A and B are shown apart, each in its own frame.
Chain A
Amino acid sequence: MTAERRVANWLGLGLFALLGVAAVAPLFLIIGDVYIKGIDAINRLGGLWHFLTELPPSPFDEKGGIGPMLVGTLYMTALGALLGVAVGFPLGVYIGEMRREKFTNVARAGVNVLVEFPTITIGLFMYAIMSLAKEDLNEWVMKPLSHVLKAAFGDWVSWFIGPLDGYNAYAGAAALAIIMIPYVALVTASAYASIEQPLREAAYDIGGREFNALFVVLRKAVSRAVITATLLGTAKIAGETAPLLFTAFGNFYYAPFTGPTGAVTLWVWYAAQTPYDVQIASAYGAAAVLLTIILIIFITARIKR
């Protein structure tokens, strides 16, 4: 090997390594920036517990928190993830297992397109659906339903079920679910598609019915991939902002989920663009809390693997 080729080899590989590191380096800068400024901000705004439960600071407050936003984020993320898995998993089984059907290709193309769709268009879609459905829905379903439930269980029901506003937590959760469904479906599909044929035949043999074979026996073979996908999908939707802009809208107070609902991401988006130091500080605190949630979910998913 000539000297030039050896030098070219090292230079070339070094360049690739440099580019690879350049792709990951900002991650550390961002995490460092968020935690350094965020922890300082949380301490300044009244300590961790105060920060996690109190109302957000107005421009003239010294202290404040992200209580309502945290509740909203947890509620919408939980609902969205639940619906996302409930629809995404069977959908994934369909496109992964029934590959001989013509329609599977259509469904697979649909999932592939939806997973890469701009998230803001999904938010706008839910907004359009809500504005179309709101009045009739309240008139015929939500009002009678909330009357019955209130009479049966007491007034606290109206925090969850009642006449809906144009902006509400359920529209937000639905938008998050639409983002999560294709993600779970794709991972489930590739997990089912990668099952070896002998194992599949054995499963059909001992399963008896196709349902048992697919959902009871083969489930064990794919559960790890599906659980990881669920966790990563949950982390992803917990950090989504764009689909919530016009569905949950954001709220600074503890309020019923049938009306505008706050989310941590929405607060970061709003507060970071205000000119007030105290709100910018709370944005950093909120970002640190959000990042902690995401990191916990992400690391759990990685360790389980």
Chain B
Amino acid sequence: MLGLVLVVLFIPYLIAAYGLLFVKLRWGLRLFGVFIVVTIGLLVAMFLVEAYPILARDGVAVFLRTDWDPVRESYGVLQALVGTVLTSAVAIALAMPMAVGVAVTINEILPARWRGLFGSLVDLTATMPTVIYGLWGLFVLGPLLQGLVNALAGGVVMASPYTLFTAGVLLAIMISPYAAAVIREGYALVPKPVEEAIYAVGATKFEAVLIKLRYIRNYILGGFFLALGRAMGETVAVAMVVGGNFARLTTNLFESGITISSLIALQFPNAAAYQYMVPALFAAALLLALFGLVINAVAIYIIQRWQV
């Protein structure tokens, strides 16, 4: 009954909000503000409710165990958590230099005519459907990286093209425009007098860039956290190249693994057949949502503290 009320109430709510816009504008607008807050509250509440059976059975142990054995109804998501951390770490390590490079290239190196075009290309990189990245990773990047890593190591280090490392590299390409957007925003806000002062003491362009980057370090940190949030939440592209090894914990980057979001994407379709698998997946989603909340809150705090 509660669900019916939720869904059915939404339509009169929207009509009321629109109606109030004409009658009492501020209250109408406030209703829209309430909507977004309620949505987030509902989302977390919903996940708690859906995950309750497994939390009641296992407690926090579900986040600390590393086995995923549907036949025994025994679920742990630590291996997925470790996979998420590893892929995000690889992605961030590769993406942050690229993001800084993009910001510097656009603002300092390219002639003014080309800046708009280059910026559009970076934005397009962010808009591209993730599933197309996944397709490319599956058939081009994965085999390419396998060949490259094995050739560099002089032996078979990477037995499969689909590993945590592949996922990390693919993620780096996908998230660098998000970090770049924040860093570009900060770069444009370096005051003109500061820039003039830097050049007045005889700095070369490269030295000026380094000083400016230090000046906007909060934006770089903010971009770092936003990109980290993206990397942790990305689903489809990662699920296609990560290898889908959800039964065993691995900390070797060159083995196939799993991340939280790809665990959900790959296991959910057959979850209904087991009693506790849906709650276990919702517990994983709850973890993901909490990570998202915390990381984004940190990012927003860092950026806003600098602005005000």
Contacts and interface: CB of A to CB of B under 8 A. Distances in A.
Interface string B178-207: 001000000000000000000000101111
B256 interface: no
Contacts of B3: 129-134, 136-137
Interface string B97-136: 1111111111011000000001011111101111111111
Given A113-B296, A242-B130, A118 B35 contact: no
Given A16-B100, A22-B101, A283 B235 contact: no
B293 interface: yes
A141 B8 contact: yes
A178 to B, nearest CB: 7
B180 A23 contact: yes
A196 to B, nearest CB: 18
Interface in B24-41: 25-26, 28-30, 32-37, 39-40
B104 A16 contact: yes
Interface string A1-16: 1000110111111011
B7 interface: yes
Of A34, A107, A134, A283, most buried by chain B (CB within 10 Å of CB) is A107
Interface in A281-303: 283-284, 287, 290-291, 294-295, 298, 302
Interface stretch (A57-65, A87-95, A155-163): A87-95
A265 B264 CA distance: 17
Contacts of A215: 21
A6 B4 contact: no
A120 B261 contact: yes
B91 to A, nearest CB: 13
Contacts of B98: 19-20, 22-23
Interface stretch (A42-50, A217-225, A231-239, A251-259): A231-239
B89 interface: no
Interface residues of A, number: 99
B29 A98 contact: yes
A75 to B, nearest CB: 17
Contacts of A246: 268
A112 B18 CA distance: 23
A121 B131 contact: no
A98 B1 CA distance: 36
Contacts of B18: 90
B50 interface: yes
B128 A294 contact: yes
Nearest to B125: A27
A121 B8 contact: no
Interface in B243-270: 261, 264-265, 268
Given A20-B102, A137-B7, A118 B136 contact: no
B101 A30 contact: no
B240 A272 contact: yes
A39 B279 CA distance: 43
Nearest to B227: A116
A112 B168 CA distance: 25
Interface in A82-102: 86-87, 90-91, 93-95, 97-98, 101
Contacts of A290: 129, 131-132
B83 interface: no
Interface in A248-277: 265, 268-269, 272-273
A24 B109 contact: no
B76 interface: no
B47 A128 contact: yes
B209 A17 contact: no
A112 B293 CA distance: 10
B47 A124 contact: yes
A181 B43 CA distance: 15
Contacts of A104: 33
Given A110-B37, A241-B129, A116 B204 contact: no
A214 interface: yes
A279 B139 CA distance: 14
A206 interface: no
Contacts of A283: 135
20 contacts: A12-B210, A13-B104, A13-B109, A17-B109, A18-B101, A20-B106, A23-B176, A23-B180, A90-B18, A91-B36, A94-B30, A116-B292, A116-B296, A117-B233, A119-B235, A120-B288, A124-B282, A125-B42, A133-B4, A211-B25
Closest 4 CB pairs of A and B: A19-B101, A118-B233, A239-B129, A133-B3
